[in-house]
Amino acid sequence: MDLKEKLLSSFLVFENQLEDDAYLNDLRNDAIKTFEAKGFPSKKEEAWKYTSLNSILKEDYSIFPKQENSIEFSDVKKYFIHDIDSYKIVFIDGKYSSHLSQTTHDGMDICLMSAAMAKPKYRLIIENYFNKAATKDSLPSLNTAFSSEGAYIHIPKNKMVAKPIQIIHFSTGNESAIMLQPRNLIVVDENSHVQIIERHQSLTDNAVLTNAVTEIFANKRAIVDYYKIQNDTLNASLIDNTFINQQRESVASVHTFSFGGKLVRNNLNFYQNGERIDSTLKGITIIGEKQHVDHNTLVHHIEPNCESHQDYKGIFGENSTGVFNGKIIVNKEAQKTNAFQANNNILVSDKATINTKPQLEIFADDVKCSHGCTIGQLDESAMFYMRSRGIPEKEAKALLMYAFSNNVMSSVKIPEIKQRITKIIAAKLGVNIGFDL
Amino acid sequence: MLKINDLHASVDDKSILKGINLEIKAGEVHAIMGPNGSGKSTLASVVAGKEEYEVTKGNIIFNGEDIEELAAEERAHKGIFLSFQYPVEIPGVSVTNFMKTAINETRKAKGLEEMPAKDMLKLIREKSELLEIDRKFLSRSLNEGFSGGEKKRNEIFQMAMLEPQLAILDETDSGLDIDALRIVANGVNKLKSKDNAVLVITHYQRLLDYIVPDFVHVLYNGRIVKSGGKELAHELEEKGYDWIKEEVNA
């Protein structure tokens, strides 16, 4: 049985276990029909031209992982940004882990999707926001069909959330292969500010396929900073679908650090539904072996006087492949839009590949849009310069790569994240650099 | 300290150095002058270990050791320093962090512990004062947006920090106004001692008014065609290079 058939028959089992909830069950039913009609995307589709899912779809994934053995915090501490005080929403094989988590209902809700779906007091938010930003593409639809658990965050208005929130999904490898479909909903009301760190981490070498959907709503003048740390094992694959719906004068940023995994596809979509909105999309990708990382971004400028800033840096070694497909749509009404996009890549191996493709669809006439992509090698003259000062080749390469990534690092607002990213980069490059960026 | 014997070098199969002989002893200042394209910068790069140049014949002995097989960083660790004609811009790495890395990597190579942060700061302060470098300058990205003079001053600052045995100054005077030239030359002179040596590569005699050489060599068409004392530099300044070319070609 192929994975699609397995999922369709699993849905019948899943459906039978669900609570009697006409509203959500109708959404799930519509979604599974959409997935059934569309199936998994293939390379024939323009948006998937450079990323084939074939190699990861052939595994025999368990769709409903068994209850996990408990994990001690000390075993997984290193996957947290543990040197800061934070809220934590932690899942193990798709199930909530209360002993690793630290949630709150004190003036805001930082808790679980399963609770939000079940309890009447959250119903209004669910009905107003759940599945309102996600597209009806096949993979988000598949997630919607099976949606039952994930992070639920609602920050009411005028609230500055003092601590960042970490959302971490662990997989244990208790079964040979598992598929996870976490569903996160984040609603940030007027004038509120929140910082979120997200990570998917496999704890073994068993195959994992995660098809995640995160919907983020940044209401009027809200500020949302989102950091995605992707440094998973070579058998873990991630399809990350993130949809950010911004209202007027809101500021939202997503930094995506892609250092690992077998196949990573980031579908990152911003919708600007008001004036004077600011959106930032930044990423650093450093991969090797046969890894594949695909950044597929969309910024949709719908209203006038908004800005978007995209800056993606990629360093590709060995047989790795990278894709950057950045789409900017500027509606006819969205005059005075400023949209910037940059994608710079370094190939450090003859066998590495990068496909980069800016796509601009501009229907307004008074806009500033710029895009640029570069593909190059490490600057030989800079290498000689550094080596002539006594810096060995490996360290010199690392310094150049740090320098190359610096633009992206400079907008990270949490110093501990910067330090962590610097350490991960240093470890990946096998060097010990005595300073942070 | 440095002994170059019958050195031939080429890049992309094009022969540039065609038999250089040169000996530099501790405490000496040598100048290499010559018209454009004579191979001056190539000689500097070959001694510093630039990989794209291929030594086809001869050798370079530094403190009794043939350094041909050594990488650029290993030569740096042994005390060879090259001040670049065109220092490379490295956005994202501050002058301070660059120097910290360079010094600690050099210490690591010598089996020493990293320099304590306090000592590093003291050293940076001391040496930046010597080159009249503003503190703010040190937190800027290396060479990025620096003026020509700032870049050269920064090169000599790095030299002061690393305290090499042999400093090769490749066209350090180009792009400098007279004040910057004085600061740079003053820095070099203060660093000079009986234990180290300086090789000044220049097209013009101007810098040699400030850094006074013990020996002047004229490089032409890949060979040293004439050597003399500092008066040779004056002669070249007055008469240009044509008479040398005529002498060689005759």
Q: Who among A384, A390, A403 is closest to B162 (CB)?
A: A390
Residue A363 domain-assigned?
A: no
- Whether residue A382 lies within 8 A of chain B, CB to CB, comes out as yes
End-to-end CA gap in chain A = 49
Query: Is the domain of A65 the same as that of A185?
Result: yes
The CA–CA distances, whole Å, from B8 to B13, B40, B71, B85 equal 12, 13, 18, 22
**pLDDT by residue for chain A (437 residues), tens digit each?**
799 999 999 999 999 988 889 999 999 999 999 999 999 999 999 999 999 999 999 999 999 888 766 788 888 998 999 889 999 999 999 999 999 999 999 999 999 999 999 999 999 999 999 999 999 999 999 999 999 999 999 999 999 999 999 999 999 878 889 999 999 999 999 999 999 999 999 998 899 999 999 999 999 999 999 999 999 999 999 999 999 999 999 999 999 999 989 999 999 999 999 999 999 999 999 999 999 999 999 999 999 999 999 999 999 999 999 999 999 999 999 999 999 999 999 998 999 999 999 999 999 999 999 999 999 888 889 999 999 999 999 889 888 888 888 778 889 999 899 888 888 888 887 776 655 54
Query: Is B230 in contact with B213 (CB distance < 8 Å)?
Result: yes
Q: Which of A388, A391, A396 sits opposite B82 (nearest CB)?
A: A388
Contact A387 B49 (CB under 8 A): yes
Q: Is residue A336 situated within a structural domain?
A: no
Residue B49 pLDDT greater than 90, yes or no: yes
Instruction: For residues A110 and A189, give the distance between their C-alpha atoms in angstroms, rounded to a whole number.
Output: 14
* Phi (first) and psi of residue A30, to 5 degrees: -60, -40
> Is residue A367 in a domain?
no
- Chain A touched by B146 (CB under 8 Å): no
Dihedral angle computed from the Cα positions of residues B157, B158, B164 and B166, in that order, rounded to the nearest 10 degrees: -80
CB under 8 Å to A398, separation ≥6 — which residues?
A425, A426, A429, A431, A433
- Indicate the residue among A242, A273, A304 that finishes a domain: A273
Chain A within 8 Å of B12 (Cβ-Cβ)? Answer: no
Residue A315 lies inside a defined structural domain of this protein? no
CB contact under 8 Å between A399 and B114, yes or no, is no
Whether residue A254 is contained in a domain is answered as: yes
Residue A351 lies in a domain: no
Query: Which residues in chain A have Cβ-Cβ distances shorter than 8 Å to B71?
Result: 387, 392-393
Q: Any chain A CB within 8 A of the CB of B144?
A: no
CA dihedral B210, B214, B220, B224 (to 10 degrees): -160
DSSP 8-state assignment for residue A228: E
Nearest residue, CB atoms, B93 vs list A379, A392, A399: A399
Q: Which CATH superfamily is domain B2-249 in?
A: P-loop containing nucleotide triphosphate hydrolases (3.40.50.300)
Last residue of a domain, one of A215, A238, A273: A273
The residues near B118 (Cβ < 8 Å, ≥ 6 apart) are none
The full set of domain ranges for chain B reads: 2-249
Q: Are A200 and A229 in contact (CB under 8 A)?
A: no
Q: What are phi and psi of B84, to 5 degrees?
A: -75, 145
When scoring B51, B88, B113 by the number of chain A Cβ atoms within 10 A, the one with the most, hence best to mutate, is B88
Q: Which pTM does this prediction carry?
A: 0.85
Residue A121 lies in a domain: yes
A85, A228: one domain: yes
DSSP codes of every residue in A245-264: EE-TT-EEEEEEEE---SEE
* Interface touch A389/B109, C-beta < 8 Å: no
Looking at the fold, whether A241 and A126 belong to one and the same domain comes out as: yes
In terms of Cα–Cα distance, which of A137, A115, A116 is closest to A128?
Answer: A116
The domain total for chain A is 2
Q: Which residue of A has its CA nearest to B79?
A: A390
- Among A245, A273, A301, the domain-final residue is A273
Residue-range definition of the domain harbouring residue A389: 380-437
CA atoms of B9 and B223, how far apart (whole Å): 11
Q: Please name the member of A385, A392, A404 whose beta carbon is closest to the beta carbon of B84.
A: A385
Residue A229 parent element (H or E): strand A223-230
CB-based contact (8 Å) between B164 and chain A? no
On whether both A30 and A166 belong to a single domain, the answer is yes
**Measured between beta carbons, which residues in chain A are less than 8 angstroms from residue B141?**
403
Mean pLDDT of chain B: 93
Helix (H, G, I), strand (E, B) or coil at A120: helix
Q: Which candidate, A319, A384, A374, A388, places its Cα nearest to that of A344?
A: A374
In which element (H, E) is residue A366 found? none
Both tokens of residue A412?
A: 């990270």
Distance (Å) from the C-alpha of residue A411 to the closest C-alpha of chain B?
Answer: 13
Residues 27-66 of B with CB under 8 A from A: 48-52
Q: Are residues A122 and A262 in the same domain?
A: yes
Q: Is residue A147 part of a domain?
A: yes
- φ, ψ dihedrals at B81, nearest 5°: -130, 135
B171-199 pLDDT per residue, tens: 998 888 888 899 999 999 999 999 999 99
C-alpha triplet A313, A318, A321: angle, nearest 5°: 50
- DSSP characters for chain B? -EEEEEEEEEETTEEEEEEEEEEE-TT-EEEEE--TTSSHHHHHHHHHT-TTSEEEEEEEEETTEE-TT--HHHHHHTTEEEE-SSPPPEEEEEHHHHHHHHHHHHHHHTTPPPPPHHHHHHHHHHHHHHTT--HHHHTSEETTT--HHHHHHHHHHHHHHH--SEEEEESTTTT--HHHHHHHHHHHHHH--TT-EEEEEESSSGGGGTS--SEEEEEETTEEEEEE-HHHHHHHHHH-SHHHHHHHH-
Confirm or reject contact between A412 and chain B (CB < 8 A): no
